[in-house]
Amino acid sequence: MIIANTIEEVRAQVREWRKEGLTIGLVPTMGYLHEGHASLVDKAVTECDRVVASDFVNPTQFGPGEDLEAYPRDFERDCALLEAHGCDMVFHPEVDEMYPQGGGTTDTFIEILSEMPKQLCGVTRPIHFRGVCTVVGKLFNIVTPDKAFFGQKDAQQLAIIKHMVRDLNFGIEIIGCPIVREEDGLAISSRNTYLNPEERKAALTLSQSVKLAKDMVAGGERDSKTVLEAMRAHIEAEPLARIDYVSAVDGITMLPVSELSDGVLVAMAVYIGKTRLIDNFTVGE
């Protein structure tokens, strides 16, 4: 597997692959890789001739007081996982390589102006999706992939990236991949490493409330207020949990809905101790 630290190295390799007529898949990550990321690489390997993963903790998507400095990093372990799953190149730039202006920021952002990034995670993380769109747009320009692969766990991010790609005519196919869960149901996340054993147990309240909601919907309940109230009651019964949001929104616009019809996203963010975790499901999937 090629390890590229500079944009120029990536571009040179991509040019070679293009000369050979090969297709390229991109798996953008912030590192500290787990089975969820591995599933994205596996999918990319089946769909593209060459797979590039990026491994970059993007400063512009962290707000003041968030976990940018504490965000877990282990590049060696990441490389081992990527290589084992058939990744061809990892792009691991320094902050100044991605943000040449310096200071891990830029004057030029990609920002969706509709309500979409202001809902759900956008309420407590107002600059988050602007940073995500900007770095993903940069990665698209650097790697110029045919397809890019994102996890459904970050459902709002996935919807926003699809919207950005359409609005800015990137011409890249965006593929959403299913949430990967631990055996007991917890959605796999790099942030799960922050949890102590007691919190790890408490964190199950998220996947349990997803299951509760799915069961209610399968039983014919379509009123979002009724389902969301049951989910909230379940989570509030866990003393270590504090709800950020539990919402039902249109799967494309991210605007709240009252009826749980197919395609509606039921999503939550919950603090377990100091760790903010997310989970979701889409009705009808």
Residues that bind ligand PAF (CB under 6 A): 28-30, 58, 61, 132, 135-136, 154, 157
Ramachandran angles phi, psi of 168, nearest 5°: -100, 10
The one-character DSSP state at 232 is H
User: Considering beta carbons, is residue 177 or 268 the nearer one to ligand PAF?
Assistant: 177
CA distances from 192 to 73, 76, 143, 182, 219 (A): 13, 19, 30, 11, 31
User: Considering beta carbons, is residue 95 or 216 the nearer one to ligand PAF?
Assistant: 95
User: Considering beta carbons, is residue 109 or 221 the nearer one to ligand PAF?
Assistant: 109
Instruction: Count CB neighbours of 143 within 10 A.
Output: 25
User: Considering beta carbons, is residue 191 or 200 the nearer one to ligand PAF?
Assistant: 191
Instruction: Give Cβ neighbours of residue 60 (< 8 Å, ≥ 6 apart).
Output: 99, 104, 105, 106, 109, 127, 130, 131, 134, 135
Q: How far is the CB of 129 from ligand PAF (least distance, A)?
A: 9
Q: How far is the CB of 54 from ligand PAF (least distance, A)?
A: 7
Q: How far is the CB of 93 from ligand PAF (least distance, A)?
A: 12
CA distances from 239 to 116, 188, 192, 231 (A): 31, 22, 18, 15
Q: How far is the CB of 87 from ligand PAF (least distance, A)?
A: 15
Q: Is the dihedral of CA 271, 241, 189, 219 positive or negative?
A: negative
Run of H or E including 229? helix 224-236
**Is 85 assigned a catalytic role?**
no
Of 34, 37, 163, 234, which residue is the catalytic one?
37
Q: How far is the CB of 52 from ligand PAF (least distance, A)?
A: 13
Q: How far is the CB of 53 from ligand PAF (least distance, A)?
A: 10
Pairing of strands 50-55, 89-91: parallel
Under 8 Å between Cβ of 100 and 8: no
DSSP 239-273: TTEEEEEEEEEETTT--B-SB--TTEEEEEEEEET
Question: Among 163, 166, 259, which Cα is nearest to 217's?
Answer: 259
Question: Among 173, 130, 149, 144, which Cα is nearest to 7's?
Answer: 144
User: Considering beta carbons, is residue 60 or 224 the nearer one to ligand PAF?
Assistant: 60
User: Considering beta carbons, is residue 135 or 272 the nearer one to ligand PAF?
Assistant: 135
Q: Which residues are catalytic?
A: 37
